[in-house]
Amino acid sequence: MGPKQKIAFAVGVSVIGTIVIMAMVSTIPGMFIPLRYFSVGIFCSASISTPVCVLLVRQGEENRLLRHELERRVEELAYLADRDGLTGLLSRNAFFDRAGRVHARPGNWYLLIDIDHFKRFNDDHGHQTGDAVLHAVGSAIAQALGPDDLSGRLGGEEFAACLTDCSADLATRRAEHVRVSIQALRVRAPSGHIVRVTASIGLSPGDPIRPIESSLHRADLAMYAAKTGGRNQVRRAA
């Protein structure tokens, strides 16, 4: 019901109430109200109730809009509180919280992703380029994963992902898809130089019996094996 309909309904109720009360009073002996006075009562009721109803409906609409805006702001703040400001992925704490909720499910796999030679981007092209690389890698990871997967930035140039409902072969293919997506990135430095990006990825199955940190530690060991094995590759935990 829109504001105008609410006002019309409220005024109508007021007028009908006035008519009913006047009719009831007329039934009392000695209290008969001539019919011509009913029109006066209706006019007075409508004249008084209309501005009051307009004010109340307007106030109600303003309160509704304010409540809606407040709810939107609260949702926005909650979203931002869970996000890494540079990449838009989940923050470290938010990632562990969200992944912890699904850790007990079968078929979870964890990725630990580390950008290769990240220090060179900052040293050779400045921190602005390093930030641009982090942002681009975060976007590539998010786009390469499925809608039910989780991804977050753990800190520095290190990222993590939780793949849900995967077999070992599927998890390996999806990890490789993430690696290829990062390898395809071309980031322009402020100097105009185009930098290429690669990442080493460790892959480990989830273990519902042990804490999530245990699975990520195994993925971390696999990631270091990828680093020592030449970088820009996926290694699965033994």
Helix (H/G/I), strand (E/B), else coil: 37: helix
Look at residues 190, 84, 200, 78 and name the one whose alpha carbon lies nearest to residue 135: 84
**Cβ-based neighbour number of residue 181 at 10 Å:** 18
Region at 162 (left for phi over 0; alpha for psi -120 to 50; beta for the rest):
beta
Cα gap 214→216, rounded to integer Å: 5
Enter the tokens of residue 31. 């209290």
The reply to whether 71 belongs to the active site is no
Sequence-separated (6 or more) residues with CB below 8 Å from residue 157? 114, 115, 118, 134, 137
Closest CA relative to residue 220, chosen from 236, 209, 231: 236
Of 62, 69, 71, 157, the catalytic one is 157
Residues 179 and 230: their CA atoms lie apart, in Å, by 14
Residues designated catalytic: 157
